[in-house]
Amino acid sequence: MIWIDTIIQGVLLGGLYALFAAGLSLVFGIMRLVNLAHGDLIVFAAYLILLLVSLLGLSPFLAAIIAAPIMFCVGWALQRHVLNRVLGPDILPPLLVTFGLSVVLQNALLEVFSADSQRLPAGEIATASVQMGGLNLGVLPLLTFASAILVIVGLNQLFYRTELGRAFRATSDDAVTAGLMGIRPDRIFATATAIAMLVVTLAAIYLGMRANFDPNIGPARLIYAFEAVIIGGLGSLWGTLVGGIIIGVAQTVGAAINPEWQILAGHLAFLLVLLIKPRGLFPRAVD
Amino acid sequence: MTILSLKNVSKSFGALTVTEDVSFDVVQGQALGIIGPNGAGKSTLFNLITGNLTSDAGSIHFDGADVTRVPPMQRCLSGIGRSFQIPQPFDHLTVFENLLVAATHGQSKSEHEVEEDCARILEQTELLDVANNTAGGLRLLQRKRLELARAMATNPKLLLLDEIAGGLTAAECTALINTIKGLHSSGVTIIWIEHVLHALTSVVERLLVLDFGKVIGLGDPDEIMNSREVKEIYLGIEV
């Protein structure tokens, strides 16, 4: 029984990692942009929510509803005015710029909010749990997992059922030809990053409510997100969820064997998948 | 009515002149063929018309407006559609989605408004059977048809076809010619660059011959094909 519990806790933890990774996967899938500041943007969103919570006395969920449009605009402006300028056949400039952005964000947050670790007030749901078949499941982990599923279903609907989604995929296939058809790739990219920032805001709620955060934890979260995206196969959103779950389960199982092994077990699972399937579990047919 | 008019258009890349003092008019509803040896500047001429290249001198008028300095996207919106020599469909989208994307963005309309048009074009170009297949898995003839269909989906007043018959078998070529004839008879103005001459001459009413970027013949296809200059330069026959 304890093993089943461990694995289910791992699956639920995977939901959190999938949320960290979904925005990264979305942006990479559309414009082949690896955003090294993704983790720091999640932390930035968490501080924005914290600020709204402490200034307006709102619950974190309400504060996130206000933070979401702000993050949407941040994403749009960031892509339109900074990242679009460095996108091109060379992969290095966007890596350098997002790495620089990561450093800037960390230091700006440090300056404004200090290095003290913070937490979003979750209230009762922080400790609430439900009984399911003899297992005690935390409400917050369940909510996180449900949010991850919702985000991925939502993004898939957006991709495959809407006009905007088709423009995303067409631009992803061939930005030059898409331009000749009347699509504006710069705007498409800006919209994609803006939507990714909505997912980032959602990830930030759970990041902030489930554990302490400080200005420097972004890169560590980025590593989990990267691993989830790569295990799943670049550009596949359901793959990203599976990747998150694999890391989550590996971590909880590792921790159950020996608490020191938690983080290591996750990374080992990642390396193992790479050894067996170097292109990830669900790679796109042609890239 | 003249829909496209080029006046003294020239283009050079460094010391290499690829288009030299080219002038011609295309009347609405007409089909004009363009032939010439490799490197004669045929595709460059298309790029000048679509705006992918800007001319160094001369002017291009389309549908009553001067488009010489207008960027490609605006020219697409104003009604210049183009198929590429090498088909470039969006491989991960279905055939129908390829048309939807071209139709919505090429005309600034909603998907709902263009769905029926897209279905009709799929029927005209005989792609209905594969409408829901992803474009990446299509055979060459189907890819060429999709290229044609996608250009049609932008609802062009003028359709530019760039060597669309190349690489097809004789039977496939005939099938494609019939499709193009169908489009032409529905009133679309066509300019068609082609090396497969029998395909070209079975559709077009006028033929333009380019050599080293210059127009060396323009007129009735039969007369052009039989002229001494064309035979010498283009077909390499000693007369």
User: What are the residue boundaries of the structural domains of chain A, listed by start?
Assistant: 2-87+139-276
Residue of chain B nearest A30, judged by CA positions: B92
Indicate the pLDDT class of residue B237, thresholds 50, 70 and 90: low
Nearest to A169 among B84, B93, B104 (CB): B93
Q: Which residues of B17-39 are buried (b: 16+ CB within 10 A; e: fewer)?
A: bbbbebebebeebbbbbbbbeee
> B227: which residues sit within 8 A by CB, 6+ positions away?
B217
User: Contacts of residue A167 in chain B, CB cutoff 8 Å?
Assistant: 101, 105
What's residue A238's pLDDT? 92
Alpha helices in A162-236 (DSSP H): 163-173, 175-180, 185-210, 218-232
Nearest to B154 among A177, A181, A184 (CB): A181
B177 sits in the region (left: phi over 0; alpha: psi -120 to 50; else beta) called alpha
Q: What is the dihedral of CA B212, B218, B223, B226, to 10 degrees?
A: 0
The answer to whether B134 and B104 have CB atoms below 8 angstroms apart is no
Does the pLDDT at position B239 exceed 60? no
What's residue B95's pLDDT? 95
All residue ranges of chain A with pLDDT < 50 are: 286-287
Indicate the pLDDT class of residue B205, thresholds 50, 70 and 90: very high
Nearest to A182 among B77, B100, B111 (CB): B77
DSSP code of A217?
-
Residue of chain B nearest A165, judged by CA positions: B101
What's residue A287's pLDDT? 43
What's residue B222's pLDDT? 87
**What would the CATH number be for the domain defined by B1-79+156-239?**
3.40.50.300
User: What are the residue boundaries of the structural domains of chain B, listed by start?
Assistant: 1-79+156-239, 89-155
Indicate the pLDDT class of residue B39, thresholds 50, 70 and 90: confident
Identity of the amino acid at B68: T
3-state SS, one letter per residue, for chain B = CEEEEEEEEEEEECCEEEEEEEEEEEECCCEEEEECCCCCCHHHHHHHHHCCCCCCEEEEEECCEECCCCCHHHHHHHCEEEECCCCCCCCCCEHHHHHHHHHHHHHCCCHHHHHHHHHHHHHHCCCHHHCCCEHHHCCHHHHHHHHHHHHHHCCCCEEEEECCCCCCCHHHHHHHHHHHHHHHHCCCEEEEECCCHHHHHCCCCEEEEEECCEEEEEECHHHHHHCHHHHHHCCCCCC
- Taking only Cα atoms into account, the Rg of chain B, rounded to an integer number of angstroms, comes to 18
Distance from CA of A59 to the nearest CA of B (A): 39
Structure-token pair, residue B177: 């010619």
User: Contacts of residue A181 in chain B, CB cutoff 8 Å?
Assistant: 76, 101-102, 105-106, 150, 154
Structure-token pair, residue B205: 């009413």
Q: Is residue A118 classed as helix, strand or coil in its secondary structure?
A: strand
Structure-token pair, residue B48: 């000048």
What's residue B234's pLDDT? 63
Average pLDDT for B102-113:
87
The answer to whether A254 and A261 have CB atoms below 8 angstroms apart is yes
Q: Does A70 touch chain B (CB under 8 A)?
A: no
What's residue B165's pLDDT? 85
Does the pLDDT at position B227 exceed 90? no
Instruction: Please give the angle made by the CA atoms of B130, B132 and B135, to the nearest 5 degrees.
Output: 70
The answer to whether A43 and A112 have CB atoms below 8 angstroms apart is no
CA-to-CA separations, A99 to A96, A104, A147, A236, in angstroms, rounded: 5, 9, 28, 24
**A251 membership: H or E segment, kind and range:** helix A237-257
What gap in Å lies between CA B183 and CA B89, rounded to an integer? 20
Q: Is residue A281 classed as helix, strand or coil in its secondary structure?
A: coil
What's residue A89's pLDDT? 86
Sheet holding B16-27, edge to edge: B16-27, B2-13, B57-62, B65-66
Q: Is residue A137 classed as helix, strand or coil in its secondary structure?
A: strand
pLDDT in tens, B3-16: 999 999 999 998 88
Has the ipTM of the complex gone over 0.85? no
Instruction: Please give the angle made by the CA atoms of A147, A151 and A154, to the nearest 5 degrees.
Output: 135
User: Contacts of residue B51 in chain A, CB cutoff 8 Å?
Assistant: none
What's residue B212's pLDDT? 87
What's residue A286's pLDDT? 42
Q: Does A163 touch chain B (CB under 8 A)?
A: yes
What gap in Å lies between CA A240 and CA A222, rounded to an integer? 13
Q: What is the dihedral of CA A101, A199, A71, A221, to 10 degrees?
A: -30
Give me the residues paired with residue B34 across strands: B193, B208
Distance from CA of A85 to the nearest CA of B (A): 20
Residue found by looking up tokens 């000693």 in the block = B238
Test A180 with B100 for CB contact under 8 angstroms.
no
Q: Is residue A116 classed as helix, strand or coil in its secondary structure?
A: coil
The answer to whether B206 and B192 have CB atoms below 8 angstroms apart is no
Pick B234 or A215 by higher pLDDT: A215
